[in-house]
Amino acid sequence: MRILATGDWHIGKMFQGSARAEEHRHFLEWLKKQAIQTRADALLVTGDVFDSKDPTPLSQEIYYSFLDDISHDCPGLQTVIIAGNHDNPTLLEAPQGILRRHKVVVVGTAVGCGEDDQSDNPLIIPLDSDSGERAWVIAVPYLRRSNFKFDKSYEKSVADYLSSLVRAAKEKRGEGEPVLMIAHLYAAGSLNGNDNGHSETIYVGGEPEIRMSNLKDHPDFLLSGHIHKRMEINGVPWAQYTGSVLTMSFAEIDYVHGADLLTFEAGKDLVHDFLEYTPMMKFVSYGPSSPEDIVKDIKKDLPHLNSNMFVETKVCLESADNEIKDTLKKLIEGIGAKFVYTPEIKERKSDVGKYSKISKPEDLSSDDIVREVIRRRFASANEREASDVADIMDDEEQALLEEIISRARSGSNGE
């Protein structure tokens, strides 16, 4: 029996103002070919189908056209999809009746949270091959605090819930039938200090970590979405992040993309392989270095640059320089590539100003931070010499800023 797994599609995602619809079509066409070539019996999708809870008609057309095409070209394929934190669970589940006729099961909302008996939980789904083999998949969508009571911590509630589902699935399975799980969660140890630029927001609302070691019972294999970097979860050999299907930012430039393939035969161990995918658009970054060095490097690489690229230029400057930006833009867009300009302006002594003696962020008031961020973000080249936001805003703009700060302070105090 062969099972494909993928996740974090983020259909509808924009990058630097560019739509990525054709990139998503390209990936989904590749995925369909993998299902055909591997003769897959099932396809598992680990969440974040869409990038927004209100996907555009085009995004939905891409998604539903793919499901229609793959169910037609792979008539025996069973597909199980869960909602991620970017998805609208209700919208994803809405066409459930039609999708089931195409052997597609969508799980948007978890049920049975906090219950001891999970034997009849619909999140436990049997997968059958044409040759008579069977596996079980536990399809767990993104879990929110509201899914659980407040009699114990969120982390413990999730661990207990996942363990109880695993126990129920193992009681259902026959001899030699594996129990798999797909989820969309943030596991402890998933990211390290080198991943600060990761495009997925991790701590929305203080999202806590889930520790795999807290699962009293675990599946034979767990595949999770949410983290865009493909990796083993917290050093646990039976847990894997599927990773995103496209590069979502230049911070993810070295990430690999593709689909997982799980294969098993009766009496044999589960085999885990990775099918690598080469995205339609390549991310290329120059710098940080001087404008002259970047221009020289780009000209040297011109024969290898093409329209299927996002090209970032990290330019080190003494001050803002639109002429440099225009020169680089003309050079990059001349070969049809997407131009991304990232100036890195050297900080002057006056930029530090009254904060030069402050060594810790906590020593700054929230008001000071807001004003300084606005001053640095919106000041012109000359205004960067200003030591206060008041020097670059008129009276009306300052009044609006003060009102915003006042409202924010009131909100943080629970008013």
Print pLDDT tens along the chain (415 aa). Answer: 999 999 999 999 999 889 999 999 999 999 999 999 999 999 999 999 999 999 999 999 999 999 999 999 999 999 999 999 999 999 999 999 999 999 999 999 999 998 889 999 999 999 999 888 999 999 999 999 889 987 788 899 999 999 999 999 999 999 999 999 999 999 887 664 345 445 554 443 455 688 888 899 999 999 999 999 999 998 889 999 999 999 999 999 999 999 999 999 877 889 999 999 999 999 999 999 999 999 999 999 999 999 999 999 999 988 888 899 999 999 999 999 999 998 887 654 444 443 333 334 444 455 555 555 665 555 544 444 444 445 555 556 666 666 666 666 555 444 4
Residue that is last in its domain, among 214, 242, 277 = 277
pTM of the model: 0.81
Q: Quote the pLDDT of residue 210.
A: 87
Q: Quote the pLDDT of residue 163.
A: 96
When divided into structural domains, the chain yields a total of: 2
- Domain carrying residue 17: 2-277
Do 327 and 267 reside in the same domain of the chain? no
Do 272 and 320 reside in the same domain of the chain? no
Do 39 and 56 reside in the same domain of the chain? yes
Residue that is last in its domain, among 277, 308, 338 = 277
Do 269 and 316 reside in the same domain of the chain? no
Do 257 and 232 reside in the same domain of the chain? yes
Do 296 and 390 reside in the same domain of the chain? yes
CA dist., res. 215 & res. 161, Å (int): 9
Do 58 and 197 reside in the same domain of the chain? yes
| Closest residue by Cα to residue 75 from 38, 39, 24 | 39
Within 10 A of 110 (CB to CB), how many other CB atoms are there? 23
CA dist., res. 106 & res. 139, Å (int): 9
Which value, in Å, is the radius of gyration of the alpha carbons in the chain? Answer: 25
Q: Looking at residue 210, what DSSP letter applies?
A: B
Residue that is last in its domain, among 230, 256, 277 = 277
